[in-house]
Amino acid sequence: MRPGFFSGMDGTMRLRLATWNVNSVRLRAEQAARFVREQAPDVLCLQEIKCRDGEFPVQAFVEAGLPHLKISGQKGWHGVAIASRLPIEEAPPLDLCRERHARAVSARVAGVELHNLYVPAGGDAPDRAANPKFDHKLDFLERLTAEMARRDPLAPLAIVGDLNVAPGEHDVWNHRFMSKVVSHTPQEVAAMEALRASLKFLDLTREATPDPQKLFSWWSYRALDFRKSGRGLRLDHIWVTPGLKDAAFRLGSAASRIHDDVRAWERPSDHAPVSADLVF
């Protein structure tokens, strides 16, 4: 049996999903391979790959054991990809980005409909009228919410990726301060709650580690020691529909974590990977 996707004594099988804003896949292909060796994800969803489709380091992922690829690239910026040990089937694409950026890619793996997303950051000013980037971000989330609201909550569906919003007060280093900063403003938090409610999504990382424990998946490069500074945000998420609740809690509790050790590797991304296990 392949590592990371196993059959238990009772006939169950585990599917390990992981998401990572890699901040240039060509720069961090070796780090991605190391993460795959150490954590054995069956599916690795990447954001901000920063390359066109033909420039993606395919061979590095084949050698790492993730030969099945779905890539939506873009020159210089954005870009998302799904790399899988298991065969990838087509899934309905999502039309979310009015600027036509490469920010969404969809696939079906082991019966799970998977949407890998890179939500726009939103610029500096939390004002839709004055800041087109912020308006774009909220428009993206609103389109996603409308699309999800048309789906069946009992269908096996997951949305993962850099959603660029820290939804809870314990997902930021300072709730009062960050409520005025793009990524945790009341408008964005409300948009995320509307998205969560659209299909009654389960936030698996928070299910595994409930409030009030602080959880972060992003730290600024400005901090020489990200752990010492402690000024992080939880921007990266794995959400599943109630249709996957049994699989997510098969072992009694959600198995999801942020791999903050990866943020300490040499020349890291500013984001850490997040993983979650589904057991069928």
Structural domains present in the chain: 15-279 (3.60.10.10)
User: ∠ CA(269), CA(41), CA(15), 5° rounding?
Assistant: 140
Q: Are 69 and 81 in contact (CB under 8 A)?
A: yes
pLDDT attached to residue 1: 38
Nearest to 163 by CA among 59, 63, 235: 235
Residues 133 and 122: their CA atoms lie apart, in Å, by 5
pLDDT attached to residue 6: 53
Q: Are 164 and 140 in contact (CB under 8 A)?
A: no
Residues of the chain with pLDDT under 50: 1-4
Give the count of beta carbons closer than 10 Å to the beta carbon of residue 38.
11
pLDDT tens for each residue of 129-138: 999 999 999 9
pLDDT attached to residue 46: 99
pLDDT attached to residue 117: 98
Taking the alpha carbons of 227, 229, 234, 235 in that order, is the dihedral positive or negative? negative
Beta strands in the chain (DSSP E): 14-21, 43-47, 68-72, 80-84, 104-109, 112-118, 157-162, 202-203, 218-219, 232-233, 236-240, 256-258, 274-279
Residues 222 and 30: their CA atoms lie apart, in Å, by 24
Nearest to 42 by CA among 17, 63, 62: 17
pLDDT tens for each residue of 172-196: 999 999 999 999 999 999 999 999 9
pLDDT attached to residue 2: 41
